Structure 1
Amino acid sequence: MTKDQLYNELNYVNHSREKRIYYANLIINNPELLPELLNILFLVNDKVSCRAAWVLEFMCGDKLEYLIPYLDTFTLNMHKVHLDSAVRPIAKICEYLVKAFYSKKTNKIQTALKPIYIERIVEVCFDYMINDEKIAPKAYSMNTLYLLGRDIDWIHPELVMILERDFQMQSSGFKARAKHILKKIKK
């Protein structure tokens, strides 16, 4: 399947779980399509890039290790993604990567997630926290930053400052997640 064919196929992806799973499985069963999916994802002004992000998120939820050969490309370009419905999956994938990194169960992400990739994830997550993003990317970013802050000493103080500063202006969903994260940090 060519990039153009995959691009056309992605037009059939919608918010339904069935479609996202179907196309995620298409990529899982044809991993050679992953570079093309990433190319489409990083066409950041194109609405189809959102659909590529949805598919990538579902693929990563099932086969995160398939992203390993493309971690440099993914982390180098993820900050360019700006359409709301594509930002959420990017934040979720960052959370998947960091959760896998800190998993007690040994996995390939633990050796593949180099310090430069972690640095890029920290940067994009803080961007999501301070920019005018919806609650979901902020919630995923809070959790990602909380986990990374257990090893990177400057993250928790910065995260606490942002959460406390923005607390009153944010939604009830943000407040609930922020309370949870602040409680965990202060333990």
Structure 2
Amino acid sequence: MINVTCAIIRNEDDEVLVVQRGEATDHPFKWEFPGGKVGNGETEEECIVREVREELSMEIVICGRLPEVEHDYGHKKIKLIPFICDTLDELPFLSEHHDFKWIASPDLLKVDFSEADIPVARSYLKSQDVPAGIEKITKSESGKGIDDDKELQAMINRMMSMKEADWIATSAIDNPEIFKKLLDYSFSDDKKLAFHASWTLTKVCDKYPEIILPHLAQIIESLDKIDNESAQRSFLRIISLTNMSRIGTKHHGILAEHCFNSLRSGFSAIAIKAYSMETLYKLALIYPELANELAAIINMLQREGSAGIVARGHMILKKLSGMSGK
């Protein structure tokens, strides 16, 4: 039995990435979820992150895991280990596959998948149903049913779909107690809880941007101290979508230094670099002297970055060029 990981990769529009195998493969021109064999000495999580990086030049964040699928192809038996993942990269650079496409979740079962991937697609669609517990807290008007911290934390940790995140986000907008807990959990030492809570917090801010304004100073001052790349990613996304005039001058300086350091670092994830670029562009609209430094760093990243960061960098450079043309 060969252990093989695969990734159900979602973009910010909640579409799922599928890739097409080439002609000279076991299953020519069939579609599949990207992934590969687990190597000696590596965990399944390490494997899927490595495979997606090698095959697609994409960075992913693991959000959850689906039941394993065993399948006998006749000439080989595999155990498929599926992970639900998020990404900011929308343009994979194909090194092994023939083609790719982003598919709306309801259309997944229309795809001509390899046999082992079909039950994975079904399992993913089933995981997107909103559990009764999530509906219960959304309908709560005064915190009833979520008084128990452990209950809410368990719900957040079990969360695997955009729909679930949206339901909890709606509840947080209506109920300040839930919002406060989401914010507190985002700083938790429990990395999974912090990631899921901060991810849900981004959905809250998408729906009601004003709600985060009183807390932006705390978030900005914490960026250098957070040892959780996923939570940093969520916080930087929230900041990148914020009107910079609503942030004080002191925190402009802290933010600019953090974002420039993230862009220069060889260890920052692609999503963190992308949100740092957007934040620095918005700061450059207020402080034009930042524009040249930002452009220089982006040009450097264009030569050595992934397809996703190159595409995002090109967009920012175009906007910076528009600034200088004014």
Measured against the shorter chain, the TM-score band is 0.7 to 0.9
Q: Report the Cα distance in structure 2 between the residues aligned to 1:73 and 1:175, rounded to whole angstroms.
A: 31
**Count of aligned pairs:** 175
Structure-1 residue corresponding to 2:290: 155
Q: Report the Cα distance in structure 2 between the residues aligned to 1:185 and 1:12, rounded to whole angstroms.
A: 41
The Cα shift of 1:153 comes to: 3.1
Greater share of residues in helix: 1
The answer to whether residue 158 in structure 2 is matched with residue 12 in structure 1 is yes
- Find the residue that maps to 1:150 and give its secondary structure: helix
Q: Report the Cα distance in structure 1 between the residues aligned to 2:273 and 2:193, rounded to whole angstroms.
A: 23
CA contact (8 A) 2:219 2:235 kept: no
CA contact (8 A) 1:37 1:52 kept: yes
- In structure 1, which of residues 158, 173, 176 is the aligned counterpart of residue 311 of structure 2? 176
Q: Report the Cα distance in structure 2 between the residues aligned to 1:33 and 1:117, rounded to whole angstroms.
A: 26
The Cα shift of 1:10 comes to: 1.4
- Find the residue that maps to 2:191 and give its secondary structure: coil
Structure of larger gyration radius: 2
Q: Report the Cα distance in structure 2 between the residues aligned to 1:72 and 1:147, rounded to whole angstroms.
A: 17
Superposed CA offset, 1:41-92 (max 9, x none): 1124522100011111110111111112222222222333343332321221
- Please report the TM-score for the alignment, with normalisation by the length of structure 2: 0.49
Superposed CA offset, 1:154-173 (max 9, x none): 32122122112222111112
Q: Which sections of structure 2, spanning at least 5 residues, go unmatched?
A: 1-146
Greater share of residues in strand: 2
Q: Report the Cα distance in structure 2 between the residues aligned to 1:151 and 1:96, rounded to whole angstroms.
A: 15
- Find the residue that maps to 1:153 and give its secondary structure: coil
1:33 aligned partner, one-letter code:
I
- The alignment-based identity, stated in percent, is 28
2:187 aligned partner, one-letter code:
F
Q: Report the Cα distance in structure 2 between the residues aligned to 1:4 and 1:183, rounded to whole angstroms.
A: 47
2:271 aligned partner, one-letter code:
A
Cα 1:158–1:149, aligned 2, differ >3 Å: closer, same or farther?
A: same
Structure-2 residue corresponding to 1:167: 302
- Please report the TM-score for the alignment, with normalisation by the length of structure 1: 0.82
Structure-2 residue corresponding to 1:73: 218
2:159 aligned partner, one-letter code:
V
The Cα shift of 1:8 comes to: 2.6
CA contact (8 A) 2:182 2:201 kept: yes
Q: Which sections of structure 1, spanning at least 5 residues, go unmatched?
A: 102-109
Q: Report the Cα distance in structure 1 between the residues aligned to 2:225 and 2:165, rounded to whole angstroms.
A: 23
Q: Report the Cα distance in structure 2 between the residues aligned to 1:34 and 1:78, rounded to whole angstroms.
A: 20
The answer to whether residue 183 in structure 2 is matched with residue 46 in structure 1 is no
- Find the residue that maps to 1:34 and give its secondary structure: helix
Structure-2 residue corresponding to 1:113: 247
The Cα shift of 1:122 comes to: 2.0
2:240 aligned partner, one-letter code:
E
- In structure 2, which of residues 271, 286, 289 is the aligned counterpart of residue 136 of structure 1? 271
- In structure 2, which of residues 236, 240, 243 is the aligned counterpart of residue 91 of structure 1? 236
- In structure 2, which of residues 142, 153, 171 is the aligned counterpart of residue 26 of structure 1? 171
2:308 aligned partner, one-letter code:
G
1:38 aligned partner, one-letter code:
L
Q: Report the Cα distance in structure 2 between the residues aligned to 1:3 and 1:78, rounded to whole angstroms.
A: 25
The Cα shift of 1:137 comes to: 2.1
